[in-house]
Amino acid sequence: MPPALIVDDEPGIVELLGITLQGMGIAVTGAYSLAEARARLAEGAPSLCLSDLRLPDGSGLDLVRRLRELYPQVPVAVITAYSSADGAVEAMQAGAFDYMAKPIELARLRRLISQAVDLSRLSPAGLGGTQRLVGDAPVMQRLRDDIRRVARSNAPVHITGKSGTGKELAARAIHASGPRHDKPFVAVNCGAIPEGLVESELFGAEKGAYSGAVQRREGLFAAANGGTIFLDEIGDLPMMMQVKLLRAIQERAIRPLGAAREISLDLRFISATHRDLQEMVAAGKFRQDLRYRLDVVRLHMPALREHPEDIPQLAEVILQRIGVAPQDIPALLSPGTLERLGSYAFPGNVRELENFLERSLALKQEGMLLDEGMSSPAGPVSKSNGPALAPVIAVPAAFDAAEAALLRQVLDQAEGDRRHAAVLLGISLQSLDLRLHRLFPEGDA
């Protein structure tokens, strides 16, 4: 393994970092300025690089960018006494895989170096964590490339996209393609947790911390420690909890309810929402500083109407997951079926395609998912914007009537509280809202 490059204008820091790395079996070469660091890079690629953010003759960000240009597979972390959010975020946006503030904590330094070593050993193609993102359309190929790129970092990722596009699937792919792939992945639906329980669910609570806390509760952050936590529908997080989440990200520590000491965190943060966080910031519903810390790297999930050519492949994979035998799939996905599916815009995206296939399969006649006895997708295809929105695919009214009756019953039980109703149903608040909008367009549920 080539030596690691340490760049800092303080000889004591270079010596301390060098001793730590050498103790982990890693050879070291030092540089005390940006010019010296560039000279070392001209001699060859280091195994990894630790650089101060502020150097006497320039910025460590320039070194980060230079490394990304010359040796994109070399992990680089910035270490600085100036631990402002701006510097850390800008460094990771420039290509640093992580950052650390002075004074240096040796335990955290060793973890950071171990992650950098693991990262340097990853192949350029990652670990194949993107294989479940089905589709050969250009937008899907770019998405998989982007996921493999952001997986080589600890930078927070914010995933945007319409409902049903597979944001959690992308989060899992990032986790599986990076150095934390063998550590926990914990998904949290922020909209499904009752507001009064959010802090204890996320951070944990000691016995007796609040009324009803009869035993110690480990929070989801602690359960994910060392791995990745995925905060889905982050826009539904209450404002008070946004403040505490911001501190957890900045300080890399949490304090469970009723605890005397903080728990150190080593987490990769991934968040997602179908809402526009900047619009929520403007409306006073989301903190700008938290948005800035979460939205370091952005990943956008394409709507299904942006890659309709992938529908046959997606449908085949979904049918296999449902349990349809491979020999039966060609008959189910006849040319006529695929043509009708391809002409429909699927506003609910891949989730709607999956629901449609499951329902249609239960009603199939003569081996066809779509035949003359069933309503087919309708609506013109726009050449410029992809398939135009079309009426929702019809299914027997009994399905909708039964679902509507169930929703009314659960909403009554929850006394009209949609969050509580979603918890009782075991679905997200977003999913409940979509169902209510479809079944009760006039809002008379």
Q: How many residues does the chain have?
A: 445
The pLDDT of residue 158: 97
User: Do 4-121 and 138-300 agree at the fold level?
Assistant: yes
Whether the upstream peptide bond of residue 103 has omega within 30° of 0, thus cis, is: yes
Task: Note the pLDDT tens digit of each residue in 7-32.
Answer: 999 999 999 999 999 999 999 999 99
CA distance linking residue 277 with residue 418, whole number of Å? 22
**Residue 30 CB coordination number (10 Å):** 19
CATH classification of 395-439 is 1.10.3210, yes or no?
A: no
The CATH number of the domain covering residues in 138-300: 3.40.50.300
Mean pLDDT lowest among 161-165, 256-260, 378-382: 378-382
Average pLDDT, the chain: 85
Residue of higher predicted confidence among 442 and 134: 134
- Sequence ranges of the domains in the chain: 4-121, 138-300, 307-363, 395-439
Q: Which CATH architecture has domain 4-121?
A: 3-Layer(aba) Sandwich (3.40)
Question: What is the pTM assigned to this prediction?
Answer: 0.78
Going by C-alpha positions, the residue among 23, 79, 29 that lies closest to residue 54 is 79
Give the whole-number percent of the chain exceeding pLDDT 90. Answer: 55
The pLDDT of residue 379: 40
CA distance linking residue 113 with residue 24, whole number of Å? 9
